[in-house]
Amino acid sequence: MTLKATADLMERILREETPGKYSYSVSQNEKQELNLENGEFKLLRTVFGSGASARVFLGAKMGAASGNDITEEGLRKLVGEAAAAAESANEDPCHDIAPHQREEVFVQGVTEPDMDRFIERIREFLDTVAREYPKVRIMSGIGSFDRWNRITRNANGTAFESRGGQYFFEMDICAGDGEKTTGLDYAGFSTKALDRPFIEMGDLRRHLEDIQNSINPEPIEGKFEGTVILTPGSAANFIEMLVDNYISDSVVINGTSQWLDKVGEQVADGRLTVSLKPFDERIVIGERVTGSGFRSEDVTLIEKGVLKTHRLSLYGSNKTGRPVVKNTGFDLVVENGEKTLAELIASVDRGLILGGFSGGQPGTNGEFSGVAKNSFLIEKGKIKGAVTETMVNGNLGEAFRRIRGISKEVLCDGGSVVPYIAVDGIVISGK
């Protein structure tokens, strides 16, 4: 059965079985995945998957179910489960489905892979790493080609089809010299083209250089307030925590957001602009349909430091009376700044380049505390060396108000576009 026929079957079952509103999706996907271990090919994995999900409404009561059995029997069972869940639910008119939208088909990425070329590129990358970074070990790696097709519809007549495919490569690396070993680092990227060597993709070369320079880290003495230059990976991590803790559904519905009444106000440094841009050409596969069933849109969350919107789903919007944001992905684009990374480093009296942050999810107060991973000490504008057993503490909201500078350089890894961001006032402490 084609996916369209499966979707039509699902539509028929929902019309037969449920009296009210509904939304649903059906999908098929395929993965070809090459796993590496210690720089060698280890496992070849093929996955054929399928999926179906439905949200069913009985008046103002909503239930949801999902599964991967897309036979008629499986779909009937799934709809029955969703209906039973709805029957037991509270009445809550804030649960809803997206309004009618124009039917669209979205095709992204590459649908027919060149697996031989892909494997050649991986082999070439492994050879390059062995030659240029002899102390680096690729502990594990994954090269995969993923292809999917998804149909999303609802009872208001909205119907979207999304299909596409992408190559993806990621690696876990460490470096060693005798019995000395570094910690773990991670880097990866997604792409639709195989025209460039993988060593030039994303931020892979910097990660390899940094881990090779981290074999002899030194602890920091004492505690001081300094500047932290967030690498693009760290910056994306911190911005994701900021979004979760300050403007997401749960904290706005809860009323615990520190930015509950800050829309339209300056919440961050005037140089910070944060957007989610699934249609940006640098994003390989952007979100096309939101979790609430809207056609996705590019959205700017913070523009020149001003909070433009909370990030609310349809439910969150209905619950709080605030605008819905038609974007539930995380295709992060942060505007670059005017200084080079070298200039940012030169401007720092004492601080860190923070390659990674190993810390807990901050509470709603924004306080964060964790270990600086893959990080380097800066003193008087110069990089001194890798650090170990070093903690960083601060507050998310305060950190983005105290931006020292944003780099011209941006990392494009296929899933995000992010510069280096230097922030002041972070407590850095050693043993």
Residues 249-308 that bind other proteins (CB under 8 A): 250, 253-256
Pick the binder of other proteins from 157, 270, 363, 385 (CB under 8 A): 363
Least distance from other proteins to the Cβ atom of residue 58, Å: 12
Compare residues 97 and 412 and give the one whose CB is closer to other proteins.
97
Compare residues 17 and 303 and give the one whose CB is closer to other proteins.
17
State yes or no: residue 409 binds other proteins (CB under 8 A). Answer: no
Among positions 192-221, residues that touch other proteins (CB under 8 A) are: none
State yes or no: residue 183 binds other proteins (CB under 8 A). Answer: yes
State yes or no: residue 365 binds other proteins (CB under 8 A). Answer: yes
Pick the binder of other proteins from 9, 13, 58, 65 (CB under 8 A): 65
The CA-atom distances, in angstroms, between 81 and each of 84, 284, 362 are: 5, 36, 36
Compare residues 353 and 392 and give the one whose CB is closer to other proteins.
392
State yes or no: residue 181 binds other proteins (CB under 8 A). Answer: yes
Pick the binder of other proteins from 38, 100, 134, 200 (CB under 8 A): 38
In sequence order, what are the beta bridge partners of 295? 289
Pick the binder of other proteins from 26, 75, 79, 82 (CB under 8 A): 82
Three-point CA angle 22, 244, 92, nearest 5° = 30
Compare residues 54 and 334 and give the one whose CB is closer to other proteins.
54
Evaluate whether 151 touches 3 at the Cβ level (below 8 Å): yes
Q: Which stretch binds other proteins (CB under 8 A): 49-57, 106-114, 157-165, 271-279?
A: 49-57
Least distance from other proteins to the Cβ atom of residue 48, Å: 5
Count of residues interacting with other proteins (CB under 8 A): 75
State yes or no: residue 140 binds other proteins (CB under 8 A). Answer: yes
The 3-class SS string of the chain reads CCHHHHHHHHHHHHHHHCCCCEEEEEEEEEEEEEEEECCEEEEEEEEEEEEEEEEEEECCEEEEEEECCCCHHHHHHHHHHHHHHHHHCCCCCCCCCCCCCCCEEEEEECCCCCHHHHHHHHHHHHHHHHHHCCCEEEEEEEEEEEEEEEEEEECCCCEEEEEEEEEEEEEEEEEEECCEECCCEEEEEEECCCCCCHHHCCCHHHHHHHHHCCCCCEECCCEEEEEEEECHHHHHHHHHHHHHHHCEHHHHHHCCCCCCCCCCCECCCCCCCEEECCCCCCCCCCCCECCCCCECCCEEEEECCEECCCECCHHHHHHHCCCCCCCCCCCEEECCCCECHHHHHHCCCEEEEECEEEECCCCCCCEEEEEEECCEEEECCEEEEEEECCEEEEEHHHHHHCEEEEEEEEEECCCCEEEEEEEEEEEEECC
| 398: its two tokens | 């305060």
Pick the binder of other proteins from 19, 49, 197, 385 (CB under 8 A): 49
Compare residues 63 and 405 and give the one whose CB is closer to other proteins.
63
State yes or no: residue 371 binds other proteins (CB under 8 A). Answer: yes
Pick the binder of other proteins from 48, 131, 261, 380 (CB under 8 A): 48
State yes or no: residue 426 binds other proteins (CB under 8 A). Answer: no
Compare residues 261 and 281 and give the one whose CB is closer to other proteins.
261
Pick the binder of other proteins from 393, 398, 402, 425 (CB under 8 A): 393
State yes or no: residue 425 binds other proteins (CB under 8 A). Answer: no
Among positions 314-343, residues that touch other proteins (CB under 8 A) are: 315, 319
Least distance from other proteins to the Cβ atom of residue 401, Å: 17
Pick the binder of other proteins from 2, 16, 88, 221 (CB under 8 A): 88
- CB count, 10 Å around CB of 247? 25
Least distance from other proteins to the Cβ atom of residue 29, Å: 9
Among positions 218-247, residues that touch other proteins (CB under 8 A) are: 223
Compare residues 92 and 103 and give the one whose CB is closer to other proteins.
92
